Amino acid sequence: MRSVSESGVSGAARLAGIMGWPVKHSRSPRLHGAWLKNYGIDGVYVPLPVAPENLGAALKALPMLGFAGVNLTVPHKETALRFMDEVTPAARRIGAVNTVTVLPNGKLRGDNTDCFGFIANLEASLPAWNAAAGPAVVLGAGGAARAVIAGLLDKGCPEVRLANRSRARAEAVAHDLGGTDFGGKIRLIPWPVNAAVLSDAALLVNTTSLGMTGQPPLELSLQGLPSGAVVTDIVYSPLQTDLLIQAKTRGHPIVDGLGMLLHQARPAFAAWFGKEPEVTAELRQIVLGAPIAEKKA
């Protein structure tokens, strides 16, 4: 009979995974797998290819299968909301679930840790960073943009300037996130971005897929962006996007997108496996490792 120490996994192992369709692009099994190994935890984290029409049944089966929880990726994050028994304020506000935890009573709790991941990555990468330092320019209005904007407003950002190719989508984000709490702090700006809106910005965030391997480039000149302004991209394939290269050349502090992926996983790992995991340089290398079919998050 194999023991935990020989195989890494016993019959009592805690179970978690990621549901996506497809799911083969995901780096999360590598990430959680590295933490499990590092902390010697008796647990597994597996890719779960779940077709959209099977999402409800697959989620409902989690308590019966003894799962501690799962992550959700494309295309399940928004649809999953309706299958949750409880939804955290973060997931409700962002309108998407990326982390499901099976509670002791068998109910499903849906959370969204992208907001936490985005802010934690900036704070870990640039300890002096302060969201209240000035306006932020956010490019994109998808699920990732919602998490980024919610995080920035929570941290005291005085103004979010939001630009998106599809204006209607940006309006929906401003409406949903600009409610009573943050009225007036989200300002829609035209796409493509006019250099003038960068002139007093403290932060520039790309949440679009532009610049990602296989996607068109993000064409934006940073001329006029104040020298101390931070530039960050949630795209992490390539790790150094053209936007980050341009920013680095101009001397801006830059933060790449891999850290958001790593930090958003921390609360989930802690909830499922009972250990607060650390994001380290070694972990970055492990997760980067060999190429995987690419897509954000």
Catalytic residue annotation: 77
Biggest CA-to-CA distance, the chain: 68
Binding mask 74-103 for ligand ATR (x = CB under 6 A): ------------------------------
Residue 209 near residue 215, CB atoms below 8 Å? yes
Q: How far apart are CA 103 and CA 67, in angstroms?
A: 10
Query: Which residue from 179, 190, 216, 289 is in contact with ligand ATR, where contact means CB under 6 A?
Result: 216
**Contact region with ligand ATR (CB under 6 A), list: 17-25, 103-111, 117-125, 139-147:** 139-147
Q: How many CB atoms lie within 10 A of CB 168?
A: 8
Q: State the minimum distance, in angstroms, from the CB of residue 78 to ligand ATR.
A: 9
Asked whether position 206 contacts ligand ATR by CB under 6 A, the answer is no
Q: Smaller CB distance to ligand ATR: residue 41 or 50?
A: 50
Asked whether position 207 contacts ligand ATR by CB under 6 A, the answer is yes
Beta bridge partners of 17: 46, 70
Q: How far apart are CA 213 and CA 154, in angstroms?
A: 31
Asked whether position 265 contacts ligand ATR by CB under 6 A, the answer is no
Among candidates 218, 210, 236, which has minimal Cα distance to 292? 236
Structure tokens at 295: 């897509």
Read out DSSP for 76-127?
A: STTGGGGG-SEE-HHHHHHT---EEEE-TTS-EEEE--HHHHHHHHHHHH-T
Q: Smaller CB distance to ligand ATR: residue 68 or 297?
A: 297
Count residues near ligand ATR (CB under 6 A).
16
Phi then psi for residue 164, to 5 deg, are -145, 145
Asked whether position 141 contacts ligand ATR by CB under 6 A, the answer is yes
Asked if the bond preceding 63 is cis, omega within 30° of 0, the reply is no
Asked whether position 208 contacts ligand ATR by CB under 6 A, the answer is yes
Asked whether position 232 contacts ligand ATR by CB under 6 A, the answer is no
Asked whether position 162 contacts ligand ATR by CB under 6 A, the answer is no
Query: Which residue from 166, 223, 240, 280 is in contact with ligand ATR, where contact means CB under 6 A?
Result: 166
Query: Which residue from 2, 37, 107, 165 is in contact with ligand ATR, where contact means CB under 6 A?
Result: 165
Q: State the minimum distance, in angstroms, from the CB of residue 191 to ligand ATR.
A: 7
